[in-house]
Structure 1
Amino acid sequence: MTQVGEGHETAADADGPVMTFGAPTAGEILAERYQLEEHVNDDSAGRQVWRGIDVILRRPVAVVLRYPGGDSATEMLQAAVDASRVIHPNLVGVYDAIDEGTRSYVVREWVDGVSLRELVAQEGPLDPGRATAIAHAIADALAAVHATGMVHGNIHPGTTLIGDDGRVVLADARADSADSTEADIRRVGGLLYFALTAHWPQAEVGRSALTDANRDASGNPAAPRQIRAGVPAYLDDLTMDLLDKRVQAPGADALAAELARLDAADEDYDDVGPLRFTQGAATAEPARNNSKIIIGVAALAVIALIGLVFGIRAITASSNPKTTSTTQANAGDNQSGGGTEAPAPKPEKIKLTADMVRIVDPPKGDRSDAPEAKNVVDGDPDTAWETHRFNTAKFGNLKTGMGVLINLGTPRNLADVRVETSSPGVGMEIRTGASDPGDSSAGDDKVSTTFKKLGEADAESKTDGTNRIFNVFDASTKYQYVLVWITELPRADDGDRYQVSVNEISVYGY
């Protein structure tokens, strides 16, 4: 059970690494009150986390010990004191904060349950309704924290605890001068993303033990719907808006209200309406003052009149042959090179037809599933190419892999390949070659040995969801033959041997 998370993994404490020595033992009583029962773990800052008992009130507690205490423990102790002033059902209660010089410790509520990090590791990505409920609880907690002028600073899957009774609580505030209420809100978007995809999108976390998000060439995380099927578009947009620093972050109370709407919608997001962050959800709308409205209308009329005058002057100036200035709109026609730079081309989905794909099944596969190749490009996710069943995930001694060969008909500049499968846990990579040696067993053998893998770390991975995006193409190279190559199979749905279905393959290019 994880009782303390790892939000600030790049800088455990401002004064450097924590040195642990003179470790306590089970049965020891701290401050003549808190008896240590079991060493649970060490958090990312090197602090020991114990399950204990308050021998006076006879209740379980969590004890977080730091070595040494003194000045170097000031931040931890101050954060605990601040957190103890906020009482909320979605915040872990802080009971005590003690500095003994050689060590210091914080005593807080013990939560029987698991962290969000552990829950997703055990069960995989959560369904949209459950992910929304967890984010709603954390946003509610933040609204209470921010209302006091405080910042939490440590929202993370390890500090988000889900009790056995269903209660969701946020633990271990650890704010420093670099934290802000906006950063807290962005982290709620990170929690949503993690709950929906099992990936952590916050690049600034640094050496996180969590699986990083799939990212494009610019480092931006792929949207949850690109990683996993079944994420509602509305929830997908909300998550990405919270992560996008170009989109103004809402207040915690506005976010909590928005998530409450979704939580109450019982996963039916079709009729929830537009995002309400910019519609004054954070504060009540003030009463209207008619005199102010009249003044405002008059001001608008004056602005309109001024605009009309300058508009007439601009039209007159444009008809004057001596005018040498150009507008931004026509600057691109200036042969001297003074125009604006053309926007980068947007990748488009390449239309694939049944005659452009085939199954590659070496060596000496029975090829009985060849007619199913068309199913991966028919636009219907309910149809698929289903592999045969194998006794081992990596095909044993039968083969090194199998896949789908795509002939684009002509060399193209490509952006990415997107693959949707029936199950997570599929080992895949993208390969490319100069030609298709033929739709035959001999041709399949040659493809498997001559086609080369593209990319490095991103080129081969085990999918955590049912959707995978491969951004492995060189912008200066054109490709005609692309092979989606399966190197490892997940267990079949009934648990008998190993098998997967490839539902859709999409190729995007320029």
Structure 2
Amino acid sequence: MTQVGEGQEAEETAPPVMTFGAPTAGELLAERYELVEHINNDSAGRLVWRGVDVVLRRPVAVVLRYPGGDSATEMLQAAVAASRVIHPNLVGVYDAIDEADRAYVVREWVDGQSLRELVTADGPLDPARATTIGNAVASALAAVHATGMVHGNVHPGTVMISDDGRVVLADARTDGDDSQENDVRAVGGLLYYALTGHWPHGEAPLRGATAGHGRAAIPDAVRDASGAIAAPRQVRAGVPAYLDDLTMDLLDTEIAPPSSDVLSAELSRLDVPADDHYLEPTGPLRFTAEPGEEPSPLAASGGRKVALGIAGLLAVALVGLLVGISVLSGDDKKGPGTGQAGSPSSSAPATDGSTPAAAPARKLNIADVRIIDPDSRDRAEVRNAEKVMDGDEDKGWETQTYNAANFSNFKRGMGVWIDLGAPHNVKSVQAVLSATGVTAQLLTGTQEFPPTSAGDKDLVASYLKTPIGQPYEKHDGTKMIFDGFDPEQKYQYLLFWITELPKKDSGSGYKVGVQEITVTGS
């Protein structure tokens, strides 16, 4: 598979085959689009093919209806309308052709998977990633709505996440059955699905989903006896209150939803790295604000969120007051520089001129993680990097199976790149592996590079200049601990670089999994 947007060479050895009616592999449509592989059929009766634009030498998706005629009119109209909106979070539409016996739409080929496939395979997403996806979809809808059009087909099957992390919305409809308001509410459904793995719209069909990807493939939301759905925070732990409230507000038909551009702006505000604790969880904007009206601090946080916020602030203030009273009232019972009568205080300033003790080491937050694969063209192994930092050693990222311990003649290694979000004093890095016999080392660098093959090549070349400690050679354990850090230096970017794989238990091939990486420091 190729990266999104990269060209692909067409097969020139065999002449194109021209037929009419049912499509066949190798056929050339409109003297330009060669059909390569039948991917699937969707619930609307359309055939989805992977193809190649032999003129521009790039991969394309061909969505074909056979037979054509009146049944293809809506598909072609939707494609023509979608082609007028150019946005990084919308699938590009290149062509729409009606041949009477059949009709087809040629659009951008996206290497990746749908949101439905992603959640089905890996389970609910972390709140930060769910917010990023919701933000991308809302931004795409804002572009569509700005033209006066409606997308009308927003669901987990039409939201695609490419291998390089780009989120795109595909397959708009123009049958007149939907509204911009429904598009916006659908973002609430996507957030709910991403956070819980359940679809909140009951028996509502997911139109246009590919075969096997429809409503029956997605579990219904958890409901009480009255049919009301459970909030995301009731389904799983760790969902922030402001994201929970925003999702439920979008799904609540008694609350007027915001316009797509307002929703996009709000999700953009919330779309920050998970370890940026400075973000104030004030909840979503007040949806009923008039254009140009500045919501008040209380209204902006939403009615059900204000009481909790004020209560929390009062609780913090009360605890602080009690602590202050306790300290003041105990001054006559404690000597200077003591925490209790006669006991030294660990927080007392040094009075003998000695250097204060270093801050204790703690587990550091990992802001971003990425698989580095500089020598592969298909980029198939760069997925699931987040599993090395999810706290679960039973799940991790793993390489493919190779015929040699050193990967292959053209591949020098693979690695896990870590961004701590900001420079830190680092004490150690621990990598938990799925097997013994791995050769690996830890590297560091001072900058990040684009998530492409070329970017990975530049990253490895730069980071190999600065190893941390000694490498492990065919390590006889499943844990590697690197602690050769300079205490006077701060580090933000690290690379766990694997150059030799262990043999599989089955004895056929070589591979390894990186189950968890933990960084400690201050």
TM (normalized to structure 1)?
0.50
Q: Distance in 2 between matches of 1:210 and 1:179?
A: 22
**Which amino acid letter does the alignment assign opposite residue 243 of structure 1?**
L
- The reply to whether residue 191 of structure 1 matches residue 199 of structure 2 is no
Query: Residue 51 of structure 2: SS of its match in structure 1?
Result: strand
Structure 1 segment 102-113 matched on structure 2, within 5 A: 102-113=101-112
Contact 2:158 2:171 in 1 (8 A): yes
Contact 2:98 2:104 in 1 (8 A): yes
Other-structure match for 1:129: 128
Other-structure match for 1:180: 179
Structure 1 segment 268-417 matched on structure 2, within 5 A: 268=277, 271-278=280-287, 280=289, 283-285=291-293
CA positional deviation for 1:22: 4.6
**Which amino acid letter does the alignment assign opposite residue 180 of structure 1?**
S
- The reply to whether residue 244 of structure 1 matches residue 252 of structure 2 is yes
- The Cα offsets for residues 228-258 of structure 1, whole Å up to 9 and x where unpaired, read as 1111111111101001110111000000011
Aligned residue pair count: 270
Q: Distance in 1 between matches of 2:82 and 2:216?
A: 25
CA positional deviation for 1:277: 3.5
Other-structure match for 1:225: 233
CA positional deviation for 1:204: 4.8
Q: Distance in 2 between matches of 1:278 and 1:162?
A: 29
CA positional deviation for 1:208: 3.6
Contact 1:223 1:240 in 2 (8 A): yes
Q: Which runs of 5+ in 2 are unaligned?
A: 2-19, 206-214, 295-391, 394-522
* Aligned sequence identity (%): 71
Contact 2:77 2:174 in 1 (8 A): no
Q: Distance in 1 between matches of 2:39 and 2:278?
A: 40
- TM-aligned CA distance change 1:31 to 1:241, over 3 Å: same
Query: Residue 254 of structure 1: SS of its match in structure 2?
Result: helix
Other-structure match for 1:339: none
**Which amino acid letter does the alignment assign opposite residue 81 of structure 2?**
D
Query: Residue 98 of structure 1: SS of its match in structure 2?
Result: strand
**Which amino acid letter does the alignment assign opposite residue 65 of structure 1?**
L
Q: Distance in 2 between matches of 1:277 and 1:56?
A: 50
Other-structure match for 1:120: 119
Q: Distance in 2 between matches of 1:162 and 1:222?
A: 27
Root-mean-square deviation over aligned CA pairs: 2.5
**Which amino acid letter does the alignment assign opposite residue 110 of structure 2?**
V
Contact 2:128 2:272 in 1 (8 A): no
**Which amino acid letter does the alignment assign opposite residue 217 of structure 2?**
A
Q: Which runs of 5+ in 1 are unaligned?
A: 2-20, 287-421, 424-510
Query: Residue 205 of structure 1: SS of its match in structure 2?
Result: coil
Contact 1:234 1:269 in 2 (8 A): no
Q: Distance in 1 between matches of 2:286 and 2:82?
A: 27
CA positional deviation for 1:270: 6.5
Other-structure match for 2:31: 32
CA positional deviation for 1:169: 0.2
Query: Residue 203 of structure 1: SS of its match in structure 2?
Result: coil
CA positional deviation for 1:283: 4.2
Q: Distance in 2 between matches of 1:200 and 1:276?
A: 24
Structure 1 segment 194-213 matched on structure 2, within 5 A: 194-206=193-205, 207-213=215-221
- The Cα offsets for residues 184-223 of structure 1, whole Å up to 9 and x where unpaired, read as 0111000000000011112252344211111122222111
CA positional deviation for 1:37: 0.5
Q: Distance in 1 between matches of 2:279 and 2:83?
A: 40
Q: Distance in 1 between matches of 2:49 and 2:250?
A: 34
CA positional deviation for 1:23: 2.8
Other-structure match for 2:223: 215
Structure 1 segment 27-106 matched on structure 2, within 5 A: 27-106=26-105
CA positional deviation for 1:82: 0.3
CA positional deviation for 1:43: 1.0
Higher alpha-carbon Rg: 1
- TM-aligned CA distance change 1:270 to 1:215, over 3 Å: farther
Moved over 3 A (4+): 265-270, 277-280, 282-286
* Worse-superposed segment, 133-142 or 39-48: 39-48
Contact 1:232 1:269 in 2 (8 A): no
- TM-aligned CA distance change 1:197 to 1:145, over 3 Å: same
- The reply to whether residue 261 of structure 1 matches residue 269 of structure 2 is yes
CA positional deviation for 1:33: 0.6
CA positional deviation for 1:273: 1.7
Q: Distance in 2 between matches of 1:194 and 1:203?
A: 12
TM (normalized to structure 2)?
0.49
Other-structure match for 1:169: 168
Q: Distance in 2 between matches of 1:259 and 1:24?
A: 42
Query: Residue 105 of structure 2: SS of its match in structure 1?
Result: strand
CA positional deviation for 1:178: 1.5
- TM-aligned CA distance change 1:152 to 1:50, over 3 Å: same
CA positional deviation for 1:102: 1.2
- The Cα offsets for residues 80-107 of structure 1, whole Å up to 9 and x where unpaired, read as 0000000000000000011111111000
Q: Distance in 1 between matches of 2:278 and 2:109?
A: 35
Other-structure match for 1:139: 138
Structure 1 segment 470-485 matched on structure 2, within 5 A: none
Other-structure match for 1:303: none
Query: Residue 264 of structure 1: SS of its match in structure 2?
Result: coil
**Which amino acid letter does the alignment assign opposite residue 109 of structure 2?**
W
